[in-house]
Amino acid sequence: MAQFLEQIINGLVLGGIYALIAVGYTMVYGIIQLINFAHGEIFMLGAYIALMLITVFGIPFWVALPLSMVLCAMLGMLIDLVAYRPLRNAPRLSALITAIGMSLALQNLARMIWSARDRQFPTQLLPTIFQGQNAISLPGGGTLPYRDVCIILLALVLMIALNRLIYLTKIGKAMRACAQNPVAANLMGIKTNQVIAITFAIGSALGAVAGIMVGLSESVTPTMGYYKGVAAFAAAVLGGIGNVTGAMLGGIIIGVAEVFGAGYISSGYRLAIAYIIMIVVIVIRPSGLLGKSTGTRA
């Protein structure tokens, strides 16, 4: 039982991280029907930027975190500006190929700058709450690092904030309008390109948070964006691509399934089980758990 509880927590930590990445995929897809493969690389760069800010510039963690979010948001907008905006009216495949190219380019750029070696956040420079060895004791002998509690809470808070932003603010309304029909939204006076840029910015900032969280509990490598990105993309599809709440739900499901697969069955199946769940859901509900089954779009 104690082990079960611990595995659930392991799954929620991973799931929270997947959810943070998955909303970035799903928001962009919802508006411009583009699978932004470079999103995984934004996530990776978020971790590297925070790492550099802390180790090279000596900036405290609590400043480095928002700063990295802002820088990644700008980077996300820049990628949209140079790589996707010129192709807005081109066939969808062109933009998709550009996204794959962008992903490979950024991954190799990171390899050139920081080399392929694993890097760690220096424990002594982190706030005590994020140092893995400080933990709450669980009943039954388990431990739960405060850091993991923070990851789950942070993911939860950001998700709720995002949800409120989309449904209660003016920009949120504009985003929803663009998702429904960009041409009509434009005719109503919404600056579509600006809304898309803001969407990229929000998704990238959340990706940066996820990157830093993974960096804190695992390690920072140029390929981290690929491995985590694929799982997060599966989460977005599972939840219904284009649907933000679905992405959060999908992230949690994939994370917990992965941990249970590795912990109870075999590590060789860790992602296989998550993907089987995804495939089964997609077969039964082709638009994902919460996706709308509209024939013409998505």
Give the alpha-carbon dihedral of 234, 209, 199, 77, to 10 degrees.
Answer: -110
Which token pair is 187?
């005719």
At its nearest, how many Å lie between other proteins and the CB of residue 178? 36
| Of positions 89, 183, 267, 284, contacts other proteins by CB under 8 A | 267
Asked whether 6 and 189 are in contact (CB, 8 A), the reply is no
| Of positions 96, 217, 282, 285, contacts other proteins by CB under 8 A | 217
At its nearest, how many Å lie between other proteins and the CB of residue 134? 10
With tokens 């309304």, the residue in question is 173
| Of positions 214, 235, 249, 273, contacts other proteins by CB under 8 A | 214
- Give the separation between CA 89 and CA 101, rounded to whole angstroms: 19
Q: Which is nearer to other proteins, 267 or 296 (CB)?
A: 267
Q: 3-class secondary structure for the chain? A: CHHHHHHHHHHHHHHHHHHHHHHHHHHHHHHHCCCCCCHHHHHHHHHHHHHHHHHCCCCCHHHHHHHHHHHHHHHHHHHHHHHHHHHCCCCHHHHHHHHHHHHHHHHHHHHHHHCCCCECCCHHHCCHHHCCCCEEECCCCCEEEHHHHHHHHHHHHHHHHHHHHHHHCHHHHHHHHHHHCHHHHHHCCCCHHHHHHHHHHHHHHHHHHHHHHHHHHCCECCCHHHHHHHHHHHHHHHHCCCCHHHHHHHHHHHHHHHHHHHHHHCHHHHHHHHHHHHHHHHHHCCCCCCCCCCCCCC
At its nearest, how many Å lie between other proteins and the CB of residue 123? 6
Asked whether position 297 contacts other proteins by CB under 8 A, the answer is no
Q: Which is nearer to other proteins, 20 or 32 (CB)?
A: 20
Taking the mean position of all CA atoms in its chain, how far away is CA 177? 23
Asked whether position 55 contacts other proteins by CB under 8 A, the answer is no
Asked whether position 258 contacts other proteins by CB under 8 A, the answer is yes
Q: Which is nearer to other proteins, 90 or 116 (CB)?
A: 116
At its nearest, how many Å lie between other proteins and the CB of residue 128? 14
At its nearest, how many Å lie between other proteins and the CB of residue 14? 6
At its nearest, how many Å lie between other proteins and the CB of residue 214? 8
How many positions of this chain bind other proteins (CB under 8 A)? 41
| Of positions 90, 113, 116, 129, contacts other proteins by CB under 8 A | 116
| Of positions 14, 99, 210, 249, contacts other proteins by CB under 8 A | 14
| Of positions 104, 193, 263, 298, contacts other proteins by CB under 8 A | 263
Q: Which of residues 165-204 bind other proteins (CB under 8 A)?
A: none
Q: Which of residues 74-113 bind other proteins (CB under 8 A)?
A: 111
Q: Which is nearer to other proteins, 15 or 240 (CB)?
A: 15
Q: Which is nearer to other proteins, 125 or 165 (CB)?
A: 125
Q: How many CB atoms lie within 10 A of CB 27?
A: 28
Give the footprint of other proteins on this chain (CB under 8 A).
2-3, 6-7, 10-11, 13-14, 111, 115-118, 120, 123, 132-133, 135, 141-143, 145, 214, 217-219, 221, 223-224, 227, 258-264, 266-268, 270
